[in-house]
Structure 1
Amino acid sequence: MAEQGTPVELYIYDLTNGLASLLSPTILGRQIEGVWHTAIVVYQREFFYGGGGITSCAPVSTALLR
């Protein structure tokens, strides 16, 4: 459990860095704005749910961005 006063942040970002918005009409036939990733950041770790359950990494360094 987080200690009182420990900052907790919600991260929401596009894994494609804008490419989904540009390429989706050609690939999907419709516009999408992004492929969104959400995570909670606390104690200098980014926690998110993935294929293997709850996972963590350094903030904004998920393997999904590579």
Structure 2
Amino acid sequence: MPIDPRQDPHARIVVKPLPSQIAKRRPADAAPDDPFVRAENEDDDGYDPYSDRPAEREPLFSEDPWN
């Protein structure tokens, strides 16, 4: 006998929209999400949000690196 979530008081159903549905709701002129931006009211727990950004690329060769 299958469980009917509408009749079972312990059943939980979590419905999340698909990415394609989210894209349709977003205005066309909205800025893309930046995964490195934290909310202003987020607690400062010592986490450095810039530590997980990739380092800037440096040239592989410099003719005179000391000047």
Same fold (TM over 0.5): no
TM-score range for the pair, normalised by the shorter chain length: under 0.3
Scaled by the length of structure 1, the TM-score of the pair is: 0.20
- Structure holding more strand per residue: 1
TM-score by length of 2: 0.20
Which structure would you say has the larger Rg?
2
Higher helix content, 1 or 2:
1
